[in-house]
Amino acid sequence: MARLLVLRAPPYRHSSHLCAATLLVFSPSQHRRFASFPSSAPSAARRIVPSPLRVPIRALESSPGPTKEEQEPSPAAGEAKEPPPPAASAFEVEELGWGTQLAVKLRMLVAPPWQRVRKGSVLNMKLRGEISDQLKTRFSSGLSLPQICENFVKAAYDPRISGIYLHIEPLRCGWAKVDEIRRHIVDFKKSGKFVVGYMPVCGEKEYYLACACDELYAPPSAYVALFGLTVQQTFLRGVLEKVGVEPEIQRIGKYKSAGDQLARKSMSNEVREMLATLLDNIYGNWLDTISSTHGKKKEEIEEFINSGVYQVARLKEEGWITDLLYDDEVMAMLKERVGQKDKKSLRMVDYSKYSRVSKRTLGLQGGGEQIAIIRASGSITRTRSPLSVPSSGIIAEQLIEKIRTVRESEKYKAVILRIDSPGGDALASDLMWREIRLLANSKPVVASMADVAASGGYYMAMAAPVIVAEKLTLTGSIGVVTGKFCLQKLYERIDFNKEILSKGRYAELNAADQRPLRPDEAELFEKSAQNAYALFRDKAAMSRSMSVDQMETVAQGRVWSGQDAFSRGLVDSVGGLSQALAIAKQKANIPKHKKIQLVEVSKPSPTLPEILSGIGGSLLGVDRAVKGVLQDMSSLSGVQARMDGILFENLGDMSGENRLFLLIKDILNYFD
């Protein structure tokens, strides 16, 4: 019989994808701790790696704001403080000099076929599904946030591009990425070129992005579901009892809910408070943005949503969209707008092809100073598993090599560490924390958070002297959950026997799954979890220059939005990658308006295994759900610094929830 029970489920879900796939692995013979804690005492780390000078920058999308010394004294940690008002975006469309313009024209003439674009073309980008924070090769499927954002910037300067036609369909990403894209839409409009949106399916997240366009169209038959946002948490305790499995959970941190879905049958008051606050932040931000866009009061927008909006005609009547048109009608209108008089279809260049257009071709390549950007996305593992696939997450040993390469190089004046991770292996997180601290001792390092940088993801970020997060980034989650399964009833049900011979009072603590923990074992189990939490909390306090008592008020496993994390000292600045870049330039003493070269250290290169990975899966008909479970089983051994899923989604063909319930169904069918 297999001794490892894998439960994969998204514990939280709402109508506009406010959810995440969570993978909880509990072995009968070895408990797992869902937390991040250091492998050595903070005092030792402090002696070996001096803390880099932290001068928090409190600003939004603009040039860096005043330093901590220039501000008024900040309130105690845990005490909410109002964030600064939104500042004007730093993006400006600059007029290129005549020499640069001539060079651009020459480069366009000699550009390779895959970089050629006809004059008067419209950039057509379809935004739907998963949006990764990693760069993609031409052989990779899916969308890449950095390439989407770069396309907006290139199109603003490209004389061959007349405007952008943006198809917006259901999105499976967090609100932080949506904010980043929305900011680039607003910035692009400063070029004077048009950006027209087309939205056949309208939910809260899709409209939040689409309403930034100059004009917004939808087909007369568009699906509309503007009903508000919800959060759901699933509980498996009752299901596990039916199959004879007894979870033994130690939750350290009253907001840490990773073990709740196994140990509880209902939501705790603390988790309810945490999720309600996150939901309030997201919904409040949505109302603020939509009301500002339409020039209406928040109360009017909320009243409209509370009426139940499912008819696209109502969106037109209320001025939420420009008109009801089919795709071909919009393209015919755009064809007339760009002055294309031939009978051919609208001249367009798609996202994939335009992503291959070099910034150098458009005269946008930076100057001599170089700033490195290291991207870290996905779950954290220490080493690559035999079952790992390309882009399978953060592999610590590989990322550490990149960090060391950047640290030893004199050509990089500063580093941006871009994080989009709910955590993972705690040891791996600690090893990367150490390397990031060493890197920060040699040159300025700024951590930039995407959708989520929590638990192990926050562990990495807190090694940087300055942390920048989007206002709706999920971060924090400093807490511990320790658990193991007692399978006594299950073993009795299937007539399975297990006997253990041991030496040592606590030798069977992790091995005995055929019986409950003895009282003395349970006490040691709890002390171990308490110790793990204390180590994690203390290291976070040291990294953020807080006292332990101050950190305790914002830890306890609580997940914060980026805006709330800012007001409580877990984050130094609210903004996106451009804000992190502005701070990095300031720290490196690079003049604000001087161009720099942003070097993608984590840029992927197409490899034969990567090319064949998807092909082989299709040809052999591999069950992706089973493959995903096997990979998770192999990579999640050891202590885990992992946040339970809230905004981090499973993006495979089969949702984590379906996979989980198929597994439960198979178990029940087998034993009935």
Residue 90: CB atoms within 10 A of its CB come to 18
Angle in degrees, CA 292, 295, 297, rounded to 5: 80
Choose among 590, 543, 583: nearest CA to 412.
590
Q: Which helix (H) or strand (E) holds 329?
A: helix 327-337
**CA 169 from centre of chain:** 19
Residue 98 region by backbone torsions, left for phi larger than 0, else alpha for psi between -120 and 50, else beta: alpha
Residue 276 to residue 330: CA distance in whole angstroms: 40
SS3 485: strand
Strands 423-425 and 640-642: antiparallel
Residue given tokens 């804690």 in the structure block: 37
Taking only Cα atoms into account, the Rg of the chain, rounded to an integer number of angstroms, comes to 26
The H helix count followed by the E strand count for the chain is 23, 26
User: How long a stretch of residues is the chain?
Assistant: 672
User: What does DSSP assign to residue 226?
Assistant: B
> Are the beta carbons of 26 and 5 closer than 8 angstroms?
yes
Choose among 310, 285, 288, 316: nearest CA to 300.
288
> Are the beta carbons of 399 and 373 closer than 8 angstroms?
no
Residue 468 to residue 612: CA distance in whole angstroms: 37
Residue 199 to residue 425: CA distance in whole angstroms: 40
Please state, in angstroms and as integers, the Cα–Cα distance from residue 528 to each residue in 25, 26, 31, 37, 644, following that order: 19, 16, 11, 12, 21
> Are the beta carbons of 344 and 358 closer than 8 angstroms?
no
Phi, psi of 162 (to 5 degrees): -90, -30
Residue 136: CB atoms within 10 A of its CB come to 19
Choose among 141, 138, 189: nearest CA to 166.
189
Residues with a catalytic annotation lie at 256, 455
Residue 6 to residue 631: CA distance in whole angstroms: 11
Residue 213: CB atoms within 10 A of its CB come to 25
> Are the beta carbons of 448 and 418 closer than 8 angstroms?
yes
Single-letter code of the amino acid located at 222: A
Query: In the numeric block, which tokens belong to residue 609?
Result: 């295994």
- 421-436 in b/e form (b: 16+ CB < 10 A) is bbbbbbbbbbbbbbbb
Choose among 231, 199, 160, 308: nearest CA to 18.
231
